[in-house]
Amino acid sequence: MKTKTIIKTMAIGAFAFVCNIMYSTSITKINLNDDTLCLKINGKVSKTKESAGHSYTVQLIQNDKVVSSQIVKAGKNFNFFLNRNAWYGVKINKNDCVSKMISINTNIPTYQELEKFMVSFEVEEPISNNEAQYLDTEALDFPLAILSYYDKVENFEGNDIYAMNIKKALLVRLNAPTKDMAMAEKEVVLGKR
């Protein structure tokens, strides 16, 4: 027997490495039978004149293993279904570019069996390895965004403070006149001082 499931959605726009995140939520009813699933990820790489015609490998990672992979063109959607109570990464790869990662925590403390959620986001094309030389290399290893469930809004949201801090850490080399000043500023931004 199919049950009607409530899907709560959130749309996110995470652009380039600047991590501007915008949210919108709505509720939709659909049929899903698997009660271990709690979240559908729906994303795409923006189609621009630079990215048009390019292909991207998008991987769903759990426990350091690729559990699913899709090859998509710019402007085309990729989708993954995630189980509750787990950590995932969505990694976007392209040859000669720095990979982009979005981290997702599907732990929902007040989970109702028929509740399902959907997160939608769009990212710009990953930056080239040449462009990356102007960004902080340590900060490039961190996810662009962390998505988690928040009881206050009863939905998934990105952590705005994290996104702001990772943006500052990425751009610290552009803002500091010397490497020593850049390293000191990065430690302050990442909370090491």
Residue 69 in any domain: the answer is yes
Total structural domains in the chain? 1
Is residue 172 a contact partner of residue 140, using CB atoms and an 8 Å limit? no
Residue 185 belongs to a domain: no
User: Which among 22, 27, 23 is positioned nearest to 8, based on CA atoms?
Assistant: 27
The pLDDT profile of the chain, 193 residues, written as one tens digit per residue, is 444 444 444 444 333 333 333 333 333 333 455 567 888 989 888 888 888 888 999 999 999 999 999 999 999 999 999 998 999 999 999 988 888 899 999 988 876 666 788 888 888 878 888 888 888 888 888 998 899 998 888 888 888 899 888 888 887 766 655 555 555 655 655 565 5
CATH number at residue 131: 2.60.40.2190
In a domain, 62, yes or no: yes
First-to-last C-alpha distance (Å) of the chain? 57
**Which pLDDT score is estimated for 88?**
97
Q: How far is CA 181 from CA 35, 100, 133, 140, 184, in A?
A: 51, 26, 17, 18, 5
Q: Is residue 191 included in any domain, yes or no?
A: no
Residue identified by tokens 């509720």 is 27
Cα dihedral sign for 19, 43, 69, 2?
positive
Domain limits for position 46: 4-160
Does 81 map to a domain?
yes
